[in-house]
């Protein structure tokens, strides 16, 4: 079957499912289904159109498969944007997707271990404990009695995801070619970024590695607990982790009944997110309520416990720095800086008038400043931001979509937990500390330490370079008036290398002198000046391509 036919067949299948569940309006209003909407008149009509819209929508997403379920999970975190009955139904997609039979899970585990599940575990509960779009979870006990969860991939999930990715790429290609907004919104790159995310989620060994990294990052923290991974029992299709106990973050009645400090819990959630993004540059990117629990052994100091680490995100140093500066500029109401950062980063065309962009950003942001979540209509803010982006031809940044999705989840969670949360006040100290670490004295020392090997190498090569230049001068080669193109290129490269080495030597001298002055507590201002000059020398003298 050709790829084009597979895509067409899947689109028809999507349309058939929507019609069967009485969701005809989605076909009429969805742009990519409009060319085929006449077909829905020929399909069997829905039998249970009297069922509530939320239930019909949930059942349709479940039937359509993992990518659609994940969309429903993301939307379900935003109760402020949905009717209550729809939000309640979509919330079931977080951990109540229909499971596959326990006997099938046992067959998968037996094949992965190449021996019986009952030889591996002291107890294995065939009845699924929870089920989601990619995998389902069973409870079990190791031979030493340790309580664990066993996560098992759904059979056939890779094939279904591959098919839906084909559909998404086909639609993205059409949008890129024919849609006026295609070039700016970069649909092909967006789908390619999503493809990497969803495919990574199918390898449970990768999920285990993500969990281990996150656990190390918060090892000495009282904010977040990450369950232990039992590597001896992990395979690409099977993950075994410590079983944790806690109150689901969505169970507000239980949290309030235990006299939990809800405000502190909400503020800690914001701190965890910004710490992951900026201090660790490694963030849990699937933070819907089904993946978050609260340990309330001490209700006045509640602690988060997270599960499901299949999707994590990282940022490039450049994006990380620009985002932090954008956040801080927003907190300081420095809209000129926000506009300049967007131009400098290439997020808007270089010929954009900075004053016009500054005015547009101020118009969108100023009304929400310092308001609690309960008084902010983020739906309206997003619409206005999109309008602003379109006006200034701002390109979407595919590498930031995962972060934006996580922010979407976090803001929705914060709204549910503590609507009075001052999101800006909570995040500001975390970002300020991180920025101080990036440009303060500690950053200078770290830069010096990282460049010391280059300095040693430059000093070691200096005698040979000097001799080579002296030999050239003696032969008259430095003042040739007629040069071949190749010789000119070589001489330019040698001259550049010489400048780089001289800069590194000067940087090393300034660094050593500054360090001595600071160590002797003599002329500290001059000492810091020399250290800064040394860092600049290292940066300017760093060989090209490094």
User: Which DSSP symbol is given to 45?
Assistant: P
Instruction: Give long-range contacts, CB 8 A cutoff, 24+ apart: 113-119.
Output: 113/233, 113/235, 113/238
Q: What is the pLDDT of residue 482?
A: 41
Q: Which two tokens stand for residue 512?
A: 């050593």
Measure the CA angle with vertex 291, ends 289 and 296; round to 5°. Answer: 80
Q: What is the pLDDT of residue 537?
A: 63
CB atoms within 10 A of CB 482: 5
Give pLDDT tens digits for 267-310.
898 889 889 988 899 989 888 788 899 999 999 999 999 999 98
Torsion of CA 102, 103, 104, 107, to 10 degrees: 120
**147, 227 in Cβ contact below 8 A?**
no
CB atoms within 10 A of CB 305: 18
Total residues belonging to the chain: 546
CA distance 340 to 432: 20
The residue ranking higher by pLDDT, 377 or 246, is: 246
pLDDT of 29 strictly over 70: no
Q: What is the pLDDT of residue 282?
A: 92
Residues with Cβ within 8 Å of 378's Cβ and at least 6 positions away in sequence, in order, are 80, 411
DSSP three-state, residue 296: coil
CA distance 375 to 378: 9
Q: What is the pLDDT of residue 377?
A: 59
CA distance 338 to 136: 44
Q: Assign 111 a pLDDT band (cuts: 50, 70, 90).
A: very high
Of 324-333, 335-344, 356-365, 421-430, the range with the lowest mean pLDDT is 421-430
Question: What are the counts of helices (DSSP H) followed by strands (DSSP E) for the chain?
Answer: 22, 11
Looking at the DSSP bridge assignments, the partners of residue 149 are 139, 241
Q: What is the pLDDT of residue 327?
A: 82
Catalytic residue from among 24, 95, 164, 286: 286
- Alpha-carbon distances, residue 323 vs 326, 328, 337, 341, 347 (angstroms): 5, 9, 12, 9, 12
The residue ranking higher by pLDDT, 411 or 491, is: 411
Q: What is the pLDDT of residue 235?
A: 95
CA distance 60 to 69: 9
Q: Assign 465 a pLDDT band (cuts: 50, 70, 90).
A: low
Give pLDDT tens digits for 62-110.
887 777 777 777 666 666 566 777 777 877 776 678 899 999 999 999 9
Q: Which two tokens stand for residue 265?
A: 């819990």
3-state secondary structure 302-320: CEEEECCCCCEECCCHHHH
CA distance 292 to 308: 9
For residue 297, indicate whether it is catalytic.
Answer: no
Q: What is the pLDDT of residue 218?
A: 94
Q: What is the pLDDT of residue 481?
A: 43
Given 3-state DSSP classes, what are the helix, strand and coil percentages for the chain, each rounded to the nearest 5?
A: 65, 10, 25
DSSP three-state, residue 97: coil
Burial class of residue 489 (count of CB atoms within 10 Å of its CB; 0-12, 13-18, 19+) = exposed
Q: Angle at which helices 66-76 and 187-200 pack, to 10 degrees?
A: 100
Q: Assign 338 a pLDDT band (cuts: 50, 70, 90).
A: confident
From first CA to last CA, the distance across the chain in angstroms is: 47
Give pLDDT tens digits for 125-176.
999 998 888 899 999 999 999 999 999 999 988 888 888 888 777 777 776 7
Of 20-24, 402-406, 518-522, the range with the lowest mean pLDDT is 518-522
pTM given for the model = 0.69
Q: What is the pLDDT of residue 14?
A: 76
Give pLDDT tens digits for 407-456.
777 777 777 888 888 777 788 888 888 877 776 555 555 555 555 566 56
Q: How high is the mean pLDDT of the chain?
A: 78
């Amino acid at each position: 079957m050709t790829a084009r036919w597979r895509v067409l067949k899947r689109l028809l299948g999507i349309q058939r499912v929507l019609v069967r569940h009485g969701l005809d309006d989605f076909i009429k209003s969805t742009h990519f289904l409009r060319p085929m909407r006449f077909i829905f008149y020929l399909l069997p009509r829905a039998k249970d159109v009297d069922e509530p819209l939320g239930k019909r929508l949930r059942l349709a997403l479940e039937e359509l498969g993992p990518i659609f379920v994940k969309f429903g999970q993301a939307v379900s975190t935003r109760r402020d944007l949905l009717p209550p009955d729809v939000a309640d139904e979509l919330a079931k997609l977080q951990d109540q997707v229909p499971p596959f039979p326990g006997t099938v899970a046992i067959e998968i585990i037996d094949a992965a271990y190449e021996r019986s599940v009952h030889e591996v575990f002291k107890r294995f509960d065939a009845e699924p404990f929870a089920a989601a779009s990619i995998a389902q979870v069973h409870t079990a006990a190791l031979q030493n009695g340790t309580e664990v969860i066993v996560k098992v991939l759904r059979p056939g999930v890779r094939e279904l995801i591959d098919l839906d990715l084909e559909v998404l790429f086909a639609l993205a290609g059409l949008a890129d070619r024919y849609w006026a907004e295609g070039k700016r919104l970069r649909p092909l790159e967006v789908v390619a970024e999503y493809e990497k995310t969803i495919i990574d989620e199918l390898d449970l060994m990768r999920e285990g590695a993500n969990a281990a990294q996150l656990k190390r990052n918060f090892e000495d923290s009282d904010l977040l607990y990450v369950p232990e991974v039992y590597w001896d029992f992990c395979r690409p299709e099977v993950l075994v982790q410590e079983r944790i106990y806690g109150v689901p973050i969505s169970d507000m009645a239980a949290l309030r009944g235990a006299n939990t400090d809800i405000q502190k819990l909400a503020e800690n959630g914001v701190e965890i997110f910004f710490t992951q993004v900026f201090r660790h540059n490694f963030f849990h990117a699937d933070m819907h309520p089904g993946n978050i629990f609260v340990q309330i052994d001490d209700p006045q100091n509640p602690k988060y416990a997270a599960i499901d680490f299949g999707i994590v995100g990282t940022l490039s140093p450049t994006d990380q720095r620009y985002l932090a500066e954008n956040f801080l500029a927003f907190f300081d109401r420095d809209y000129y800086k926000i506009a300049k950062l967007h131009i400098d980063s290439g997020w808007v065309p270089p010929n954009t008038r900075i004053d016009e962009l500054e005015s547009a950003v101020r118009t969108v942001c100023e009304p929400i400043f310092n308001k609690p979540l309960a008084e902010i209509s983020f739906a309206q803010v997003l619409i206005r931001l999109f309008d602003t982006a379109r006006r200034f031809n701002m390109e979407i940044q595919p590498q930031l979509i995962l972060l934006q999705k996580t922010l979407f989840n976090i803001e929705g969670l914060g709204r549910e937990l503590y609507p009075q949360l001052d999101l800006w006040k909570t995040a500001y100290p975390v970002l300020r500390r991180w920025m101080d670490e990036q440009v303060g004295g500690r950053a200078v020392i770290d830069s010096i330490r990282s460049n010391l090997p280059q300095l040693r190498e430059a000093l070691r090569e200096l005698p040979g370079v000097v001799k080579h230049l002296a030999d050239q001068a003696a032969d008259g080669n430095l003042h040739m008036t007629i040069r071949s193109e190749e010789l000119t290129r070589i001489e330019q490269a040698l001259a550049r290398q010489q400048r780089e080495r001289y800069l590194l030597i000067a940087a090393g001298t300034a660094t050593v002198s500054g360090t001595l002055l600071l160590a002797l507590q003599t002329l500290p201002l001059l000492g810091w000046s020399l250290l800064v000059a040394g860092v600049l020398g290292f940066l300017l003298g760093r060989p090209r391509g490094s």
